[in-house]
A and B are shown apart, each in its own frame.
Chain A
Amino acid sequence: MRARIFAEFLLIALLASAALVGGCGPPEGDLGPLTYRLKWLFNVSVVGDLYAGAEGLFEAEGLQVTVKPGGPEKDAIKELELGHAQFGVASADQVIRALAKGSPVVVIAQIFQQNPLQWIYRPDRNRFETPADFRGKTLGVTFGGNDEAIMRALMATRGLSEQDATLFSVRYDYTPFLEGRVDLWPVYRNAQGVIIEDKLRRAGEAVAFFDPNAAGVRFVANSVITTRALLEQHPRTVQKFLKALLEGWRRAVDPAQAERVLAMIQLHDRDTALPLLRQQLDITRQMVRPTAETVIGRIDAAAWKQTEEIMLTQNLIPAAVNVASSLVSP
């Protein structure tokens, strides 16, 4: 009986291994349907990804790509390793944590040149010009999230510790900020930032945003990733994918295409009013292509290095991972 169970287990293990090995070595260009797992739900932050899918840019490159929304419980890096997706979007801190644990992930493009994560505040009650102004204030952070790492890095630039300010645990609902219990609240400037700003302006309140970039903390936002194996074994597929994707982003942030792009976003984001979507798109455009010379998808190696240093300083990774070696422009 035991021998039979052992034999069955061995057979299953062999079959699984064979399937795995078989899945690793098809000839170049024979990958079949591809899955691209985003970091978050369909909204303006993924407008270029949606555009590439909706306008048939992947098909034009001979690829069959399904763009799938992300969410709080989705992790593109894990999906890449498990073979559920071939391309994905992950935050820089996710990538660096994964590299620290031996994940074979590589970054092939950085869509946002400027991290959209900022902090909203009421300028009539507080003035936040530099991190020195944080002293004695209540600062919202998502413990465990990348905004916590950014906030701690900001505080460190002025030698502030947790004793100098109160860190408030942030969740999905903005009530503590709306009620004035928290002075600074983290938002994605191009998404929720616009919505909360609109809500408060309607209530007659002024708002402003604190941008970590302006204080010298350039923590990289989401990036496009794949596995090193896919990059090495199917470089042309990766190139085609990236070409289609970056073309999607180029067109999506082209002001001349704005109406077309807005109509497309409306199909996916029905809860946000058109004027707000327009504002969101304008801000997204500035973050993806801050200047006319900016190459869309450019990987900012210096910002990645700073991100790694921040994580190392805060003991979020046990040792340096040399992230530069995993930044690849195919």
Chain B
Amino acid sequence: MLPKRIYQFVIIYLAALGGLQAIKLVFALSDYVIPSPADLWQTAEAVFSRYLGDALNTLAVAIVGHLLAIVLATVVAIIGRLTNWAGALIKVAAYNLQAYPIVAVAPIIFILLGDGLASRLLIAAMICYFPLLLSFIGIFAEPVVDIEHFYTMTGRMRWQLEVKIRAFENNAKLITVTAGSATLAMVGTIVAEFFGANAGIGYSLRIALYQSDLAKVLVALFLIGIFTSLYLALLERIGVWLQHKLVLPTGGTL
């Protein structure tokens, strides 16, 4: 799974580079607009190790932000699945907050929290949190009638059991949504770094854009792509393992 994802990304990246070179050739553009392969190689040699550290830094923040968002979305979705006013309020709030573009909210976060780790974490978590929350609410609010009816009629239904049943019956959906939101966590971290932080690959991207240096941007994009692919592959692997554990329980009860 892992090599396949990497190969796929490398093929897409090389195709995009090829497309850029074709445009450069056809329109006789200078290296300032589109870097030549030699320029790209020299730039990669010069910045690769530094950008590698930056990309790892970004990935670490994205993973922590993603985990925070998953935990928070799970808790809030469990409360939000209720049909009472609290559940309704959470749903409306989630929809409304998701509508705000992060570029409008980010400056407020940076003013309040500064340009350190906390702001990056919060923005990364925010970007993947709301899509996760809406999906989780949808999943946890949907009764699994066939199974739940039995426990309700026998008076054994508890909220913990209800959550477990719904999570078990929808585990494939939950895993897909969680893995899908990983890219959002990465995007959120990069956006945060781009706007206000002073570390990470997003910060390096911003400096490269200030210098109109597309070669640096392309090197950064390569690393972002590789690390996003790695993270997705890892999540998918965890998902397969979890599904295996849930479908083939080693013992005990649900």
Please list the residues of chain A having a beta carbon within 8 angstroms of any beta carbon in chain B: 13, 16-17, 20, 72-73, 75, 77-78, 81-83, 94, 97-98, 101-104, 142-145, 169, 171-173, 175, 316
Contact = CB atoms under 8 A, between A and B. Distances in A.
B27 A169 contact: no
B207 A144 contact: yes
Nearest to B112: A175
Given A144-B206, A144-B210, A103 B27 contact: no
B210 A16 contact: no
Contact of A171 (B27, B33, B115): B115
Contact of B110 (A101, A143, A145, A171): A171
Interface residues of B, number: 26
A96 to B, nearest CB: 11
A73 B212 CA distance: 10
A99 to B, nearest CB: 8
Contacts of A97: 32, 211-213
A316 B206 CA distance: 16
A94 B196 CA distance: 23
A83 B29 CA distance: 10
Interface in B27-63: 27-33, 35, 39
A80 B232 CA distance: 40
Contact of B195 (A13, A75, A102, A171): A171
A258 B194 CA distance: 39
Interface in B181-232: 195-196, 198, 206-213
A97 B26 CA distance: 23
Contact of A94 (B22, B206, B212): B212
B111 interface: yes
Contacts of B206: 144
B180 interface: no
A101 B29 contact: no
A104 B33 CA distance: 11
B33 A78 contact: yes
Contact of A145 (B28, B32, B208, B210): B210
14 contacts: A16-B27, A97-B211, A97-B213, A98-B32, A98-B212, A101-B30, A101-B39, A103-B33, A142-B210, A143-B207, A144-B210, A169-B198, A173-B107, A175-B111
B196 A171 contact: yes
Contacts of B33: 77-78, 81-82, 103
A172 B195 CA distance: 9
B42 to A, nearest CB: 9
Contacts of A143: 207, 210
Interface string B96-124: 00000000000100110001000000000
List of 6 A-B pairs having minimum Cβ-Cβ separation, nearest first: A144-B207, A144-B210, A101-B32, A101-B31, A103-B32, A103-B30
B32 A16 contact: no
A17 B196 CA distance: 42
Contacts of A102: 30-32
